[in-house]
Structure 1
C-alpha cells in the first residue's frame, strides 16, 4: 500500500484524492493550511454577497472524508526533501511519502506599484483573502479595482451588492479585450455601465497613496488623476504558486514543469492544477491553464497513473465559463481576440445587447473552430461533440436547438440566429426554428 501526500485541497487536489480512493486502498493524506475542508473557490463571492454561507460552499459533508479514508491535515508545508521523500512542516514535523502530488494553486499578481502593500489593498483568491476583504471594506465610501479580468468583475459585483461605489481601471480599450473579441468586450462594457460601475478604459495605475497611517487613501493614475478610495482590489491576474518548490530539485519555469503524465523531473512527484506547467502542451491548449475544469481533469488523470493505469493528460476541446453580473458566458474551442486570417466569424447579438453568439469558422470549408456564448446557455457535451466531429457552420446553425440548455420558460433565440445566418449565407439557407416549430423556408 502506497502512502500518497497531496499538498493543496482545491479542485485539482481533491479530485485526485477521490479518484485514487476509487481505484485503490492506498493511504491518502491531503494537506492544506487554508481551510479544514475542500470548498468551492468560485463561490467565495457569494459568501460576501450574503447568498451563501461557507458551509454551503462545501460540496461534501464533513463526514465524507473519514468515511472514504481520506486524511485531512490542516498545516503549512515549508519545504520538500525529494531525496528523503518527505515534506517538512512549519512546526518542525515531517511526513514521509511514496508519491507526492503538488496542487498548490495560484497567487494574485503584484507589479511593484508604490503603495501596493498598504492596508486596504489586496487581491482575491483564498478564503483568507475573503476574510480580509470583509474587514477592509467595512464602512468604506469608495473602492477602486485595478485589472480587467474575471476576478475583477467578480469583486465589482461583490462591492456593488453592498452599495459601495466602484471605479474600475483597465488599461485596455474594452473589458478583457486581451481575451474577448471587440463585440463581446463592448457588450460587457455596456453591462458594467448599466450596473453603475465607473469603468475607466485605457487607464493605468501609477501609485497607491498612503493616508499617513499605513492605509490607502487614494490611487493616482498615470494621467495624474487622483481618485479617493479606502479599498483597492488588485485583480491583474494570477500566477502559479510555486514558492514551496523554489529551493528544491523540482524544475520550474513560470509553473512547476510536468510531462504528459503530469510528473515533474523528480520520480514520484507530480504537479496538477494552476501550479502546473506542461512542457509540451497540445497545440490547442496553453502550457498553464488556471481554470477549474483543467484542474479537475488533471486530478482525474494523475489518479489513474498513480494507481497503476499510466495515463497521458489529454484535455480535449477547450472550455471555460464565467458570469459578468447578470450575463453568463460560455466558451468552447478557440475564439481569439483577433480572428485569424484563414478564418471568419458569424456574429449575432440580441436587441437587448445582453445576449450574443460568435462562431469562428475556417474560410472555404466552414469548419467551426470555436464559439462564444453570452446570455444563452448551451450544453457542453453537444458543443464538445460538434467540435470533435469538425462540424461546419451551416450544420451547427441548423442543429443549434439541440444545444440549448436554458430553462423551459425562457425565450429561445435559435430562430433569430438562423434568420441572421440565412441573410449572410443565402446559398445555404436552412429551416428556421420559431416558437418551438420548424418552419420550412419556401424559396
Structure 2
C-alpha cells in the first residue's frame, strides 16, 4: 500500500527569503524591473509567477491577455528563475467518476451536513479498526460549536457506514458555543503512533495564548480514530509582519506529501478576496513553518470552455507526484465569500518543484453533469492508495450534501 499521506525523510523547509539555492544554468536577476524580466525570458506568466513567489512583485492580468504590472526588486535581492523550467507533470490517462450515484450523503438525525470529506487508510495502523478506511467530515459553517463525524468502509469508494460524531472542541475558543470545529484533515503521525487531525476553530485559544486570527488551524490526536485529545500546544498563526494575512484566517489546512516532505496549503486571510499560504513540516507534524508569500489566484490560467472567470482556490487544492513530475489538482472558484452563485470546476496542471507555481493553464477534469451534482463545490480532498489517486468532492445540490469521487491512475 502506498498511502501518499505518510511522512518520510525530508529536507529542511525553505526560508521565506527571495532566492532559492543557485543551480547551474539558473538566471539570476538583481534589481530588475519585473516587466523587463518577463520580456527577457519570454514567458510573461511564468516570470510573473516567479517574481510573485519571490515576494518581489504583485502582478495582475487585465482583459484577455493583459500585461504584467510590477515593481523593482528590493535592493540587494536576487531572484533565481530556475523554476521557470518545465519540471512539473500530469500523468497520462483520464480522471474518471467512480460512480454515477453519491458515495455518501448527510445522514438525517445523525449529522446535518457533509463537509470536507477526508479519507485515510487505517488498516495496519490502528488496532481492530471498524473498516480499512476512515472518512472524517464536519458541519458546514455551523453557527454553533460545529463538530466532526466519521464513517468507515473497506474500499476507498465505499459503501460507507456512518459512525456519527467523534470530536468537537468546546474549550479552545473565546466564543463559547460558537467555536465552529470544522474541516478535519487526518494523517498518520509516526512520532506519536496515532492519527493527527488538523481542524479549524473560531476565536481559538491554546496553551500558548489566544490566536491572532479570526479562525485558526488547531490539532488533535487519537490512537483509535474515534476518541480524540486536543494538542494544546499547536496552532497555525499568521505572521503579523505579512499584511496579506488579512483577518488571519488560517483554516482549511490541506496537508500532503511530495518529494518526501510534508507540505500544506491553507487559507491565509479570508473575505471576498482570499489569500493563501504554503506550510512545511519536517517529521514532527506538530511543528510547521509557514511561508506566507502570497499564492496567486492564477485567474488567466483558470478559464475553462464556458468562459467564466475563476481562480485557484489553494485551500481546496493539493499536489501529487506523477511519473513526469508534480501535478496540481485544484478547485477553480468563480466566487468570493458570501451569497455569490457557485459555479466551480476541478482542474489540473503541472506544478513547479516548490509546489507554488502551476506551469501551464489548468485543464478541466470535472464539471457538474449528474442530477445530484452542482457547481456549489464545497470541498476537494485527496487519497493516494495503491497507485491510484482518489479525488473526493462534496457538492451541495437541492439542499443536500453529496460526496462524489474521481479516480486517476498514477
- Using the size of structure 1 for normalisation, the TM-score is 0.23
Please identify which structure carries the higher strand content: 2
Please identify which structure carries the higher helix content: 1
**Is the radius of gyration larger for structure 1 or structure 2?**
1
Higher RCO structure (Cα 8 Å, ≥6 apart): 2
